Amino acid sequence: MNTNLVEQKFQELYGEGAILFTSPGRINLIGEHTDYNGGFVFPGAVDKGIVAAIRLNGSDRVKVHALDLGENSEFGLREEDKPAEQWACYVFGVCREIQKRGYTIGGFDAVFSGDVPLGAGMSSSAALESTFAFALNDLYNLGIEKFELARIGQSTEHNYCGVNCGIMDQFASVHGKAGHLMRLDCRSMEFEYFPFDPTAHGYRLVLVNSCVKHELVGSPYNDRRASCERVAAVLGQEFLRGATMEQLEAVKGEISEEDYLRARYVIGEEQRVLDVCAALEQGDLETVGARMYETHWGMSRDYEVSCEELDFLAEVAKECGVSGSRIMGGGFGGCTINLVKEELYEGFIATATEKFAARYGHEPKIIPVVISDGARRL
């Protein structure tokens, strides 16, 4: 990420004295559609994110320049001052959510830029929120705990950007730690770090972006969530979390075939997250990869949130000897995340690019990622 360009633009617009802050995008190695079921997710921060140059200006006005868009926004800090620009609502929302929690902040000047690929499911919006939440906490010495900074980002999405997201993206962006993934319990909100350094074991982590986003007819996310809630109710539980396959089989006659398949995926996915954590503690990345494939085909066949292009990429990965490959994110398009042995990497990328282009008429985007630190002052 080019911090020099951000600094130069700040000096050009506002003069000297800016301080640089950054927050990363994220990947989720495994644990998909488990968050709203009270289960586990397993994200990590990556080496791509947002960087911002910020300086307090002593007024009650905020001036922000989005370098990648070449756009400016200026706004006050009252509720009625919400800016017209969609991107600026993320910055405004963070300011308002900090104020709603009883903290006093003032105006500032800022320039930001990012290298999180858009549409790849790596949470560029969470990186933007986390950058400004962390920076304002730091610059005003507010003393806000990290988890509350993540909640500020989540509340920004809910209240100012119209996205009813979970906590995972902001959590990973704030709490990221180089060489580690984080297992977050979405029921208790407890988390722990697990060492994850693929290069030390001769592997690489790479996203293959299909550049496809299918139009979602109806409300597929809500439908799947409702399926899970119905099965949980039959089992006498609030969430599917903690349910066993034996319990599911016992009530199979009382639920629809579709609800059965949805629940089978979620119960299996919860176990796969725990299996992956245990495998990482043993340095066993082949088991990690095997569970990734299981997740992919579970999402494709039982949860039905894959698409032809992503299934094709997972099949090509398997043919190339890739240790693990799966859809990353909610589904219906986007990326696969792939765990690849170093010696197979170049061959896999060349084959996947060539075969995908031959089948679909455009090349996928290749995005290598390294697990990195979370929000920080540079």
Percent of the chain with pLDDT over 70: 98
Q: Give per-residue pLDDT as tens, 148-171.
A: 999 999 999 999 988 777 889 999
Candidate CATH numbers 3.30.300.30, 3.40.50.261, 3.30.70.890, 3.40.50.80; the one for domain 198-369:
3.30.70.890
pLDDT score of 359 more than 70: yes
Task: Please state which architecture CATH assigns to domain 3-196.
Answer: 2-Layer Sandwich (3.30)
Average pLDDT over residues 109-122: 86
C-alpha to C-alpha distance for 104 and 95, rounded to whole angstroms:
10
- Helix (H) or strand (E) run with residue 180 in it: strand 180-185
- What is the mean predicted confidence (pLDDT) over 351-366? 97
The whole-number pLDDT of residue 139 equals 98
Question: Which amino acid belongs to residue 228?
Answer: C
What local confidence, expressed as pLDDT, does residue 121 receive?
A: 76
Span 186-198, mean pLDDT?
Answer: 93
Average per-residue pLDDT for the chain: 94
What pLDDT, on a 0 to 100 scale, did the predictor assign at position 216? 55
Distance from C-alpha of 184 to C-alpha of 190, rounded to nearest angstrom:
6
Torsion of CA 236, 240, 244, 250, to 10 degrees: 50
pLDDT at 215: 60
Q: Domain extents for the chain?
A: 3-196, 198-369
Are the C-beta atoms of residues 208 and 243 closer than 8 Å to each other? no
- Per residue in 172-181, pLDDT (tens digit) is 999 999 999 9
Cα 212 from Cα 214, distance rounded (Å): 6
If one compares 106 and 219, the residue with the highest pLDDT of the two is 106
pLDDT over threshold 70, residue 28: yes
Helix H, strand E, coil C: the string for 59-75 is CCEEEEEECCCCEEEEE
Tens digits of residue pLDDT in 197-225: 999 999 999 999 999 887 655 577 788 98
The CA distance from 170 to 149, in Å, is 8
Smallest CA-to-CA distance from 89 within 171, 159, 9, 174 is with 159
Predicted confidence at residue 79, as pLDDT, reads 97
The arithmetic mean of pLDDT across residues 55-76, rounded, is: 97
**Whole-number pLDDT of residue 116:** 85
Q: What is the pLDDT of residues 268-297, one digit of tens each?
A: 999 999 999 999 999 999 999 999 999 999
For residue 53, the number of C-alpha atoms closer than 13 Å in the C-beta half-sphere is 23
Provide the pLDDT for residue 162: 83
Q: How far apart are CA 227 and CA 210, in angstroms?
A: 28
Active-site position among 35, 68, 81, 169: 169
Q: What percent of the chain has pLDDT over 90?
A: 88
What pLDDT, on a 0 to 100 scale, did the predictor assign at position 164? 76
pLDDT tens readout for residues 332-344: 888 999 999 999 9
Nearest to 115 by CA among 280, 238, 1: 1
* Residue 302 annotated as catalytic: no
